[in-house]
Amino acid sequence: MRRMTTRPRTARSTPTQKRGVQSAADVRRQVEAAKRPATQSERCWWCGTDPIYVAYHDTEWGVPVVDDRALFEKLVLDGFQAGLSWITILKKREAFQRAFKQFEPEKIARFTERDVARLLTDDGIIRSRLKIEGAVKNARAWLEVMEAGDGAFRDFLWSSVDHRTIDLQLARREDIRAESAESRALAKTLKKRGFTFCGPVIVYAFMQAVGMYNEHLVTCPRYRACAKIART
Protein backbone atom coordinates (compact mmCIF):
# COMPACT_ATOMS: atom_id res chain seq x y z
CA MET A 1 0.00 0.00 0.00
CA ARG A 2 1.61 3.24 -1.14
CA ARG A 3 1.25 6.23 1.16
CA MET A 4 1.47 9.80 -0.10
CA THR A 5 0.85 13.12 1.58
CA THR A 6 -0.48 16.32 0.05
CA ARG A 7 -0.65 19.57 1.91
CA PRO A 8 -3.91 21.56 1.76
CA ARG A 9 -2.50 25.08 1.83
CA THR A 10 -5.64 26.50 3.38
CA ALA A 11 -5.15 24.43 6.55
CA ARG A 12 -2.92 27.18 7.92
CA SER A 13 -4.57 30.10 6.18
CA THR A 14 -5.05 33.26 8.21
CA PRO A 15 -6.55 36.71 7.49
CA THR A 16 -3.01 37.81 6.58
CA GLN A 17 -2.17 35.20 3.97
CA LYS A 18 1.16 35.50 2.23
CA ARG A 19 1.30 36.57 -1.40
CA GLY A 20 0.80 33.64 -3.74
CA VAL A 21 -1.28 31.54 -1.33
CA GLN A 22 -4.80 30.96 -2.59
CA SER A 23 -7.67 32.63 -0.82
CA ALA A 24 -10.50 30.69 0.80
CA ALA A 25 -12.78 31.91 -2.01
CA ASP A 26 -10.41 30.46 -4.63
CA VAL A 27 -10.34 27.12 -2.85
CA ARG A 28 -14.14 27.07 -2.57
CA ARG A 29 -14.43 27.62 -6.32
CA GLN A 30 -12.03 24.76 -6.97
CA VAL A 31 -13.97 22.51 -4.62
CA GLU A 32 -17.18 23.29 -6.47
CA ALA A 33 -15.50 22.63 -9.81
CA ALA A 34 -14.32 19.23 -8.60
CA LYS A 35 -17.77 18.08 -7.51
CA ARG A 36 -18.44 15.90 -10.54
CA PRO A 37 -20.93 13.22 -9.55
CA ALA A 38 -19.65 9.69 -9.93
CA THR A 39 -21.72 6.95 -11.53
CA GLN A 40 -23.01 4.15 -9.34
CA SER A 41 -20.65 1.62 -10.98
CA GLU A 42 -17.62 3.80 -10.23
CA ARG A 43 -18.14 5.26 -6.78
CA CYS A 44 -17.11 3.69 -3.48
CA TRP A 45 -19.45 0.88 -2.51
CA TRP A 46 -20.28 2.03 1.02
CA CYS A 47 -22.78 4.77 0.08
CA GLY A 48 -25.08 2.32 -1.70
CA THR A 49 -27.92 3.91 -3.67
CA ASP A 50 -29.59 6.13 -1.07
CA PRO A 51 -29.68 9.61 -2.70
CA ILE A 52 -28.65 11.36 0.52
CA TYR A 53 -25.71 9.04 1.05
CA VAL A 54 -24.69 9.22 -2.61
CA ALA A 55 -24.75 13.03 -2.55
CA TYR A 56 -22.64 13.02 0.62
CA HIS A 57 -20.09 10.72 -1.03
CA ASP A 58 -20.03 12.73 -4.26
CA THR A 59 -19.75 16.22 -2.76
CA GLU A 60 -18.44 16.07 0.82
CA TRP A 61 -16.65 12.96 1.98
CA GLY A 62 -12.88 13.30 1.69
CA VAL A 63 -12.88 16.97 0.70
CA PRO A 64 -10.35 18.83 2.92
CA VAL A 65 -12.21 20.97 5.47
CA VAL A 66 -10.43 23.90 7.10
CA ASP A 67 -13.35 25.92 8.44
CA ASP A 68 -13.30 25.91 12.25
CA ARG A 69 -17.07 25.78 12.70
CA ALA A 70 -17.53 23.08 10.04
CA LEU A 71 -14.84 20.95 11.67
CA PHE A 72 -16.55 21.32 15.03
CA GLU A 73 -19.91 20.32 13.54
CA LYS A 74 -18.46 17.21 11.93
CA LEU A 75 -16.67 16.17 15.12
CA VAL A 76 -19.86 16.51 17.16
CA LEU A 77 -21.98 14.66 14.60
CA ASP A 78 -19.46 11.84 14.48
CA GLY A 79 -19.85 11.61 18.25
CA PHE A 80 -23.62 11.31 17.87
CA GLN A 81 -23.04 8.55 15.33
CA ALA A 82 -21.42 6.28 17.95
CA GLY A 83 -23.30 2.97 17.83
CA LEU A 84 -25.37 4.09 14.84
CA SER A 85 -24.99 4.32 11.06
CA TRP A 86 -23.82 7.53 9.43
CA ILE A 87 -26.87 7.62 7.15
CA THR A 88 -29.02 7.95 10.29
CA ILE A 89 -27.11 11.13 11.19
CA LEU A 90 -27.17 12.47 7.63
CA LYS A 91 -30.96 12.22 7.50
CA LYS A 92 -31.18 14.17 10.76
CA ARG A 93 -28.46 16.70 9.99
CA GLU A 94 -30.76 19.65 9.31
CA ALA A 95 -32.63 18.96 12.54
CA PHE A 96 -29.31 18.79 14.38
CA GLN A 97 -28.27 22.12 12.89
CA ARG A 98 -31.49 23.76 14.05
CA ALA A 99 -31.30 22.20 17.50
CA PHE A 100 -27.65 23.12 18.01
CA LYS A 101 -27.75 26.70 16.72
CA GLN A 102 -26.03 25.85 13.41
CA PHE A 103 -23.21 24.37 15.50
CA GLU A 104 -21.85 27.70 16.62
CA PRO A 105 -19.67 26.60 19.57
CA GLU A 106 -20.01 29.93 21.38
CA LYS A 107 -23.79 29.45 21.57
CA ILE A 108 -23.71 25.76 22.46
CA ALA A 109 -21.19 26.39 25.23
CA ARG A 110 -23.84 28.50 26.99
CA PHE A 111 -26.46 25.72 26.95
CA THR A 112 -27.98 25.02 30.35
CA GLU A 113 -29.83 22.07 31.81
CA ARG A 114 -33.01 23.61 30.42
CA ASP A 115 -31.52 23.40 26.91
CA VAL A 116 -30.52 19.80 27.48
CA ALA A 117 -34.06 18.99 28.63
CA ARG A 118 -35.43 20.70 25.51
CA LEU A 119 -33.18 18.68 23.24
CA LEU A 120 -34.22 15.45 24.95
CA THR A 121 -37.76 16.07 23.65
CA ASP A 122 -36.64 16.84 20.07
CA ASP A 123 -37.43 13.75 18.01
CA GLY A 124 -35.53 15.21 15.06
CA ILE A 125 -32.18 14.40 16.66
CA ILE A 126 -30.59 11.54 18.60
CA ARG A 127 -32.06 11.95 22.09
CA SER A 128 -29.16 10.70 24.17
CA ARG A 129 -28.44 12.70 27.30
CA LEU A 130 -24.81 11.59 27.29
CA LYS A 131 -24.30 12.68 23.68
CA ILE A 132 -26.15 15.96 24.10
CA GLU A 133 -24.17 16.82 27.21
CA GLY A 134 -21.06 15.69 25.35
CA ALA A 135 -21.78 18.20 22.57
CA VAL A 136 -22.02 21.00 25.15
CA LYS A 137 -18.79 19.85 26.77
CA ASN A 138 -17.09 19.77 23.38
CA ALA A 139 -18.24 23.31 22.62
CA ARG A 140 -16.64 24.50 25.82
CA ALA A 141 -13.47 22.57 25.02
CA TRP A 142 -13.47 24.16 21.54
CA LEU A 143 -13.58 27.61 23.14
CA GLU A 144 -10.68 26.74 25.41
CA VAL A 145 -8.62 25.60 22.42
CA MET A 146 -9.42 28.79 20.52
CA GLU A 147 -8.62 30.98 23.53
CA ALA A 148 -5.39 29.18 24.43
CA GLY A 149 -3.40 31.00 21.76
CA ASP A 150 -2.33 27.81 20.00
CA GLY A 151 -3.83 28.85 16.65
CA ALA A 152 -7.17 28.09 15.04
CA PHE A 153 -9.11 24.88 15.63
CA ARG A 154 -8.16 23.76 12.13
CA ASP A 155 -4.47 24.05 13.00
CA PHE A 156 -5.04 22.12 16.22
CA LEU A 157 -6.64 19.27 14.28
CA TRP A 158 -4.63 19.29 11.05
CA SER A 159 -1.34 19.27 12.95
CA SER A 160 -2.09 15.59 13.66
CA VAL A 161 -1.29 14.88 9.98
CA ASP A 162 1.35 17.60 9.62
CA HIS A 163 -1.20 19.78 7.80
CA ARG A 164 -1.24 17.36 4.88
CA THR A 165 -3.81 15.05 3.33
CA ILE A 166 -2.56 11.48 3.65
CA ASP A 167 -3.23 9.67 0.38
CA LEU A 168 -3.19 5.90 0.88
CA GLN A 169 -4.07 5.12 -2.75
CA LEU A 170 -6.38 2.29 -1.74
CA ALA A 171 -7.29 -0.21 -4.41
CA ARG A 172 -9.45 -2.61 -2.36
CA ARG A 173 -12.10 -2.12 0.28
CA GLU A 174 -10.30 -4.67 2.41
CA ASP A 175 -7.43 -2.20 2.80
CA ILE A 176 -9.56 0.35 4.66
CA ARG A 177 -8.80 0.45 8.38
CA ALA A 178 -10.94 1.24 11.41
CA GLU A 179 -8.30 3.44 13.05
CA SER A 180 -4.71 4.58 12.62
CA ALA A 181 -1.72 5.78 14.59
CA GLU A 182 -2.72 9.35 13.75
CA SER A 183 -6.31 8.87 14.91
CA ARG A 184 -5.13 7.31 18.16
CA ALA A 185 -2.80 10.22 18.79
CA LEU A 186 -5.45 12.83 17.93
CA ALA A 187 -8.06 11.07 20.08
CA LYS A 188 -5.65 11.16 23.00
CA THR A 189 -4.98 14.87 22.44
CA LEU A 190 -8.68 15.69 22.15
CA LYS A 191 -9.49 13.90 25.38
CA LYS A 192 -6.65 15.67 27.13
CA ARG A 193 -8.13 19.00 26.01
CA GLY A 194 -11.57 18.13 27.40
CA PHE A 195 -13.40 16.64 24.40
CA THR A 196 -15.59 13.57 24.68
CA PHE A 197 -17.03 10.97 22.28
CA CYS A 198 -13.73 11.08 20.43
CA GLY A 199 -12.20 7.61 20.59
CA PRO A 200 -9.74 6.54 17.88
CA VAL A 201 -12.39 4.87 15.69
CA ILE A 202 -14.71 7.91 15.79
CA VAL A 203 -11.76 10.21 15.18
CA TYR A 204 -10.58 8.10 12.25
CA ALA A 205 -14.02 8.36 10.59
CA PHE A 206 -13.86 12.12 11.20
CA MET A 207 -10.38 12.35 9.65
CA GLN A 208 -11.52 10.44 6.57
CA ALA A 209 -14.58 12.65 6.14
CA VAL A 210 -12.77 16.00 6.45
CA GLY A 211 -10.01 15.08 4.04
CA MET A 212 -7.13 14.36 6.40
CA TYR A 213 -7.09 11.05 4.56
CA ASN A 214 -8.06 10.49 0.95
CA GLU A 215 -9.62 7.06 1.27
CA HIS A 216 -11.76 6.96 -1.80
CA LEU A 217 -10.74 3.86 -3.72
CA VAL A 218 -8.46 4.80 -6.61
CA THR A 219 -11.12 3.52 -9.04
CA CYS A 220 -13.61 6.12 -7.76
CA PRO A 221 -13.66 9.48 -9.60
CA ARG A 222 -13.86 11.21 -6.24
CA TYR A 223 -10.37 9.93 -5.47
CA ARG A 224 -8.90 12.08 -8.22
CA ALA A 225 -11.15 15.04 -7.43
CA CYS A 226 -10.23 15.05 -3.74
CA ALA A 227 -6.54 14.56 -4.52
CA LYS A 228 -6.69 17.61 -6.79
CA ILE A 229 -8.34 19.73 -4.09
CA ALA A 230 -5.75 18.64 -1.54
CA ARG A 231 -2.92 19.79 -3.83
CA THR A 232 -4.27 23.34 -4.14
Domains of the chain: 64-231 (1.10.340.30)
Residue type, 72: F
**Does the pLDDT value for residue 25 go beyond 70?**
no
DSSP designation for 22: P
- Three-state SS at 113: helix
**Does the pLDDT value for residue 144 go beyond 60?**
yes
- CA dist 61 and 134 (Å) reads 24
CA distances from 162 to 67, 159, 186, 221 (A): 17, 5, 12, 26
DSSP designation for 109: T
Between 156 and 26, residue with greater pLDDT:
156
**Taking a C-beta distance cutoff of 8 angstroms, is the pair 32, 225 a contact?**
no
Looking at the DSSP bridge assignments, the partners of residue 166 are 5, 213
Q: What is the pTM of this model?
A: 0.83
**Does the pLDDT value for residue 135 go beyond 70?**
yes
